Structure 1
Amino acid sequence: MENQKSSSSLKAVVAVLAILLVGSLVYIFKMTSDTEIVKTELKTTMTEKESVMKDLQELKSTYDAAIAENTSMSDELIQERDKVVNLMSDLSKSKGDVASLSKYKNQFNALQGNMKVLMAENDGLKKANTTLTTQRDSTVVVLGETKKNVEALTGQNEELAKAVEIGSKLTVLNTRGSAFKLRSSGKQIETDKASRADVLRVNFTIAENQIAKSGDKTYYVQVIDSKNNVLGDKKTETFGENTLTYSFLTNVKYENKTIQVSEDLKGKDFAKGTYFINIFDRDILVSKTSFVLR
């Protein structure tokens, strides 16, 4: 009788141990599976991070090649390349989680869109006018400021441009200056002679940007003649510690589509020589060009 009880007890102990063993195996299997899932997710995330970094490196290489050509758009290209470099630095420091990767992908897409617009414009400028190469280093001249103040203002403008949220900045392209003779009939004839000019025309394009804020947009246009005089209204606007003397304002209703802007500046007795056109978004220089009247 006692042997039967011992045998039953032993079987019970064996059964309990078997259940615990099975439970342990199930737990170990689940932990191993969860670990593998986490490893897989981490591997996938790191792969996506490396992919975004590779895309950014290719984007930077495209800008480096274009900048090396020394076109009149070098300043704009350098600003966009610096944005790419800053994003690469931020990405390398990130933890690589899904949320941050999504943010970096969106920022990359915005930068890539700007790159396509700038590259198309850069190619067009090279084909249209080879003389722009010698004019790329034209310096923005602000009336009443010394050379030191101009350099300081340029540095501040560059810092402000870098602070603008990625992808929200509007791109100003195709800036062009020209002169016209006005006939008594009202007909306008383009001329490159200072003695015949009655009006100076400023044309530029605001590129399409679907993620920028739509609405009314004001640009300050500065036209400087060969004698270093600001033409037109000669009004002064203050932006914090910075001041800007401009020729006229142009107000644009921007609806996230490409828009062409054309403004005329009437005058007389225009001086011969090189004229500089600078377009500002507040105190930030967004486009510049020059033309010559003989």
Structure 2
Amino acid sequence: MEEQQNNSSSSLKVIIAILAILLVGSLVYIYKMTTDAKTVQTELTKTVSEKELVMKDLQELKATYDTAIAENTSMSDELIKERDKVVNLINEVNKSKGDVSKYRSQYAKLEGNMKVLMAENEGLKKQNTVLTTQRDSTIVVLGESKKNNEVLVGQNEELAKTVEKGSKLSVLNMKTSAYKIKSSGKQIETDKAGRANVLRISFTIAENQIAKSGDKEYYVQVIDSKSNVLGDKQTVSFGDKSLTYSFITTVKYENKTVQVSQDLPGKNFEKGTYFVNVFDKDELVSKTSFTLR
């Protein structure tokens, strides 16, 4: 009887041991399955995240090309070609359902191409800006040259008439200087608008033995940098022409060279370029310009 009980106890222990082994095996299997599932989920999440990043980078690359193409430079065809490559890669990535890391190298190549093209495009834009500026400057210079030539042609025609008539007087060596005259009478030449209180206009009337002698009147017109006529601002008419002048200077002419100098007092002179014209009646006989800082 005792032997039978021992056999039963041994059998029970064996059964318990087998069940324990099966339980451990089941736990190991369940753990492995759970771990594998987490790994798969992690890989799927990683794949989705990587795809979103690649798509984001590609969309930014496309936007850069779109902006550059809109500027319509001479490189537009090359830019469109490279943008189409980006669009094609976007479509490939969008259709992909697996690992998209392989597209990273393609993106890097496209990005490198973009940087090179953008640098070339910027260089062309700068060159175009310079060329446009040079063209505009040339137009301005040509315009000014045309105006100057017109003035010179007019002066030459007047000079020819003077030679023909032989009695016209020539006004030469015109000069204008600004001075600060102190209460003591001391005169200090200056080129600063804030310091000046007198403009001194001087010129020479050339000798002419066949001209009529006697008193000669010249109308002097001084125009500041804001197109204001300084001084008397009186207007005189010559037929259908009128002239606003700063002052009249009267010269006693005896067929010999005469030096003429007259001061134009003032205050609060404007900064910039001034123009000084001398008229014999309505005829411009001399002009000059100067600048006050």
Give me the TM-score of the superposition, normalised by structure 1: 0.47
Higher-Rg member (1/2): 2
TM-score of the superposition, structure 2-length normalised?
0.47
